[in-house]
Amino acid sequence: MFQVEKAKPIKCGTFGATSLEQRHIATGDFGGHLNIWNLEMPEVPVYTVKAHKEIVNSIDGVGGLGIGDGAPEIVTGSRDGTVKVWDPRQKDSPVANMEPMEGETKRDCWTVAFGHAFNDQDRCVCAGYDNGDIKLFDLRNMSVRWETNIKNGVCCVEFDRKDINMNKLVATSLEGKFHVFDMRTQHPTKGFASVSEKAHKSTIWQVRHLPQNRDVFMTAGGAGNIHLWKYEYPAQRSKKDPDGLDVGVAGSVSLLQNVTLSTQPIASLDWSPDKQGLCVCSGFDQSVRVLIVTKLNVV
C-alpha cells in the first residue's frame, strides 16, 4: 500500500480505459485536470491535461479491461457544463467536446457513462446534469441522439452493460427516485420507454449493475441504506403506435432486499467482476464496507 499526496484533491477515478497489465488509473480533480497514473510509479502522472475550467465531477472509461470494443477512451463531465472524451494516445486535445451552444445556460454536469460500445465504430456517452437533464451523445455521428428531463438533479447514470447494443439505462436523482429506460426502441417523438421508482427517502448517490446479471442493480442512498433491485421485462418490449412506428414498452422493477448500513450517505459502491454478490461501498462516515449479497440477506 502506498500514499502520495497531490496538489489538488481527487474527485473521481476509473480503470475503464486501461488493461490489468498496465494498472493505470485515470482521475479527475478539483482543479479540472485529467491525470493518468501508473500505480507502480504514482509520483508523476503518465498523462496529464487541463481538461476543464472547473472541477471534474465524474469520469468513466471504456476499451480497457476487455470491456467495450474500439479505442481506449475516457469521458469527463465538469461543473463548467462540458462533457469531453479523451484518447490517452492524443496528448493535448479531446477527441470530442460536448458543450452548450452560445447563449445557452451552462449546467453543472454531475455524471457521465459510456455505453453502446459493441463494435469498433459505435459508442455513446450519457450525461446527467444538475437541472434534471439527461443527454445521450452519439460519438459516431457526433450528435445528440436523445435528451429528456427527470425534474431533479441527476446524480448517477449507468448502462446495464457498456459493451453491448444499448439495452437499459438507470438514472438516479436527488429526491430518492430512479428511472430505468429501455434503450432498445427509440420513438421519434416519445423517445425511450421508462419506469420510475421512489426508492429512497433522500438522494440516490449511486447505481451499479451486477456484472453477472445485468437485470439486477443496487442503489445507494443518502440515508445510509442500499437497495437491491431486479428489472422484469414486459411480454413485448415494443409495439406499434397509430402511425405504425415502433414505441418501447417499459417493464417493472421489484425490490429484492435492502439494508441500512450507516446514518450517513453511502456515496460510492462497486461489484466484484469475479465473485458474484461481493461488493464494496463507502460512506460519509469515512468507512469502507465489504458485503456479500445473497438473494435473501446481506452478510
pLDDT (tens digit per residue) in 227-254: 999 999 999 999 999 999 999 999 999 9
Is residue 182 included in any domain, yes or no? no
151 and 273 belong to one structural domain: no
Is residue 45 domain-shared with residue 102, that is, in the same domain?
yes
Residues 87, 93 contacting (CB under 8 angstroms): no
4 has pLDDT over 80 = no
Total domains present in the chain: 2
- The domain boundary, picked from 134, 166, 198, lies at 166
Confidence category of residue 8, pLDDT binned at 50, 70, 90: confident
Q: Residue type for 131, please? A: N
Q: What's the chain's average pLDDT? A: 92
272 assigned to some structural domain: yes
- Using the 3D structure, point to which of 135, 151, 166 is the last residue of a domain: 166
Please report whether residue 195 resides in a domain.
Answer: no
Domain region containing 59? 9-166
- CA distances (Å), 175 to each of 79, 153, 161, 197, 282, in order? 20, 8, 25, 11, 20
Residues 153 and 211 in one domain: no
Q: pLDDT value at position 297? A: 43
Does some domain include residue 184?
A: no
Residues 77, 126 contacting (CB under 8 angstroms) = no
In a shared domain, residues 148 and 13: yes
Q: Return the CATH number at 37.
A: 2.130.10.10
Q: How confident is the model at residue 298 (pLDDT cuts 50, 70, 90)?
A: very low
Whole-number pLDDT of residue 214 = 94
pLDDT tens by residue, 92-109: 899 999 998 888 889 999
> Do 17 and 133 sit in the same domain of this protein?
yes
- Do 154 and 211 fall into the same domain? no
Q: Which CA distances in Å does 56 have to 81, 218, 266?
A: 10, 24, 20
Match 498496465 to its residue by C-alpha cell: 22
Task: Please indicate, yes or no, whether residues 18 and 150 belong to a single structural domain of this protein.
Answer: yes
